[in-house]
Amino acid sequence: MEQVVATFLHRLRVPVARQECLRLIRSHPDYPALVSVSDTLDSLGVDNYVAQFDDDELGDIAFPYLAQLNQAGGGDLALVADAADLAAARTRAGSTWTGIIVQASGLRVPASPEQVERYHLARKLTVVTWLVLAVAALLLVQPAWAMGSWLAGGSYLTALAGLFVGALLLAKELGVAPELVAEFCGDGPQAGCDDVLATDPIRLFGFFTLTDAAVAYFLWQVGCLALVAVAPAAAGLSTLSNAAALLGIPVVVFSIYQQRWVAKAWCRLCLLVDAVLLLHAGLALYAFGQGVIVPTTLTPLLVANAVLALLASSGLVVLLKQLGKRQQELAESELTLQRSKNSVTLFTNTLLRQPRIDTRDFDQELVIGHDDAPVEIIMASSLYCVPCKKGHEQLTRLVALYPDKLRVRFRLVVSNVDTGRFPTANQYVLLYWLMHCWGQPDERTRTTQLLHDWYERMDLDRFALTHPADFSGDHALSTALSTEHYRWVRQSRITRTPTYFLNGYQLPAAYRLSDLQLLLPALADYFGQEQVTA
């Protein structure tokens, strides 16, 4: 499901890294329900809606969009890019058309700098990955041209193809299959790859499967034939390689039997491996028939070393597979913990046990967001605090994402930088705010811009050049407001900045502002319901 959403956002040219999209959806407490998709889109600033349409209304919906199939338990999502995709989604075997559509039209809030940075980094890494794969493929293919005949070169390229397909099959078994594997296998209710892999009867030592054996075999074949190409003294390995290739025939017979009569399903990747094995065996038979293979070139030492190399290949495959499984288990455990952490029940239970503060408004309040928002955050910050700068940016973005759900107030902590100085940064910024922002029709916008401008410099002298405030006249109001901030900070026992309070309770230490990006809609519902029942 999440892979389809990531592809959908890519088609819409939304600058979000694929892995970030997958992580947000999978870490949602209601995953894989459709709400995990809509909440993720909201948290990314994507303008979207979810609605159910009748059949006669489908023609009015602009492509592309996501269509939900099999509503129970979240169901599947199909990317509908044109009329052909729509027809395919409505008639997909094993699925039920629900008429529920997820539509998006790009960003309603500009992407954050961190989000854009992750997106560009992911794109660069993708380019680097493809370059590395291209260079690796070029290096691996080169031995085919160094071989003395088309037969030897064809055998090497066949083994290389088998290694590639076997690696894809191993990725499928590990559950880390890329899109290429998912598309090839179908990844739908009729795809039999999972069924066949689950009924694999080979469990040597309890963990060495037929898939592992196939990958190890082709890895060994590639190594042997490459050695023949660069070391003429190892020509006897050609005989050993072709003899081993003949063993692929009974393996193919067993694989077909296993799929047809035991699993009662067909695995496309398994069939492709079977085809490569048959082709490899056919080339070996032709080589023996042409007298190209000379068994007398084999020596006991060569055979012993070849057997050791096969064992080493098998061990390497097993180690890599177990490492992959462990990483998958750790990733799944992390997602499970994150889902629990993102649960509004767990968050509110933890929040309500935190220290509570006085949340009464000042007569003049630095505030952004909607006055009637169900969620309110008070940020205690220093004007000379670098983490406070980041916190201000994050809160500004949260308000932009959820303008009707969040209200933010800023309380200023006195900094040691201002010791013995008049005016202090707090007094200066508050006076400028009272003169140019407070009471204006666009007060919230001006407040946001004022704090942004300050945190761009965090230097009073430089700030005063572009934001003049006159302290030669009456500045009693700003002094009184600055004193009110000071008293509140002392009363609330603020010991570090930034400190955040959500609806009067200190934000739990286990949570960061970035966690609220996904939690806020559920928190708004929770506290909104409390206000209704109060």
3-state secondary structure 212-248: HHHHHHHHHHHHHHHHHHHCHHHCHHHHHHHHHHHCH
> Could you give the angle at which helices 210-230 and 300-341 cross, rounded to 10 degrees?
130
Q: 513: helix, coil or strand?
A: helix
Exposed, middle or buried: residue 496 (CB in 10 Å: 0-12, 13-18, 19+)?
exposed
Q: What whole-number distance in Å separates Cα of residue 378 and Cα of residue 401?
A: 18
Looking at domain 2-112, its CATH class is alpha beta
Exposed, middle or buried: residue 259 (CB in 10 Å: 0-12, 13-18, 19+)?
buried
Cβ neighbours for 68, distance < 8 A, ≥ 6 positions apart: 34, 75, 76, 77, 98, 100, 101, 102
Pair of tokens at residue 176: 């880390």
**216-242 as b/e: b if 16+ CB within 10 A:** bbbbbbbbbbbbbbeeeebbbbbbbbb
Q: What whole-number distance in Å separates Cα of residue 156 and Cα of residue 134?
A: 18
| DSSP state letters, 110-138 | PPPHHHHHHHHHHHHHHHHHHHHHHHHHH
Q: What whole-number distance in Å separates Cα of residue 331 and Cα of residue 339?
A: 12
Chain centroid to CA 176: how far? 13
Q: 380: helix, coil or strand?
A: strand
CATH fold group of domain 147-337: de novo design (two linked rop proteins) (1.20.1440)
Q: What whole-number distance in Å separates Cα of residue 285 and Cα of residue 66?
A: 51
The backbone torsions φ and ψ at residue 356, rounded to the nearest 5 degrees and listed phi first, read -110, 145
pTM, rounded to two decimals: 0.80
**290, 238 Cβ separation under 8 angstroms:** no
pLDDT at 75: 63
pLDDT at 476: 85
pLDDT at 185: 65
pLDDT at 190: 44
Residues of the chain with CATH 3.40.30.10: 356-533
Q: 160: helix, coil or strand?
A: helix
pLDDT at 383: 94
pLDDT at 179: 62
Q: What whole-number distance in Å separates Cα of residue 363 and Cα of residue 366?
A: 10
Is the bond into 300 cis (omega within 30 degrees of 0)? no
The backbone torsions φ and ψ at residue 402, rounded to the nearest 5 degrees and listed phi first, read -130, 65
**517-530 as b/e: b if 16+ CB within 10 A:** bbbbbbbbebbeee
**Residue in 481, 486, 524 with CA at minimum distance from that of residue 502:** 524
Residues of the chain with CATH 1.20.1440: 147-337
pLDDT in tens, the chain (534 residues): 888 999 999 999 999 999 999 999 999 998 888 999 999 999 999 999 999 998 888 888 888 999 988 766 556 888 999 889 888 888 887 778 888 999 998 899 988 889 999 999 999 999 999 999 999 999 999 888 877 788 888 999 999 999 998 888 888 777 776 566 666 665 544 456 666 766 666 665 566 788 888 899 999 999 988 888 877 767 778 888 888 888 889 988 988 888 888 877 788 888 888 899 999 889 988 888 777 666 666 778 888 888 899 899 989 998 998 898 898 888 888 988 888 888 999 999 999 999 999 999 999 999 999 999 999 999 999 999 999 999 999 999 999 999 999 999 999 999 888 877 888 999 999 999 999 999 999 999 999 999 999 999 899 999 999 999 888 777 888 889 999 999 999 999 998 999 999 999 999 999 999 999 999 999 999 998 866 565
pLDDT at 202: 64
Q: What whole-number distance in Å separates Cα of residue 171 and Cα of residue 181?
A: 8
| Strands of the sheet with 406-413, listed across from one edge | 367-369, 406-413, 375-382, 499-502, 505-506
The backbone torsions φ and ψ at residue 136, rounded to the nearest 5 degrees and listed phi first, read -60, -40
The backbone torsions φ and ψ at residue 445, rounded to the nearest 5 degrees and listed phi first, read -65, -40
CATH superfamily of 356-533: Glutaredoxin (3.40.30.10)
**377, 408 Cβ separation under 8 angstroms:** yes
The backbone torsions φ and ψ at residue 501, rounded to the nearest 5 degrees and listed phi first, read -125, 125
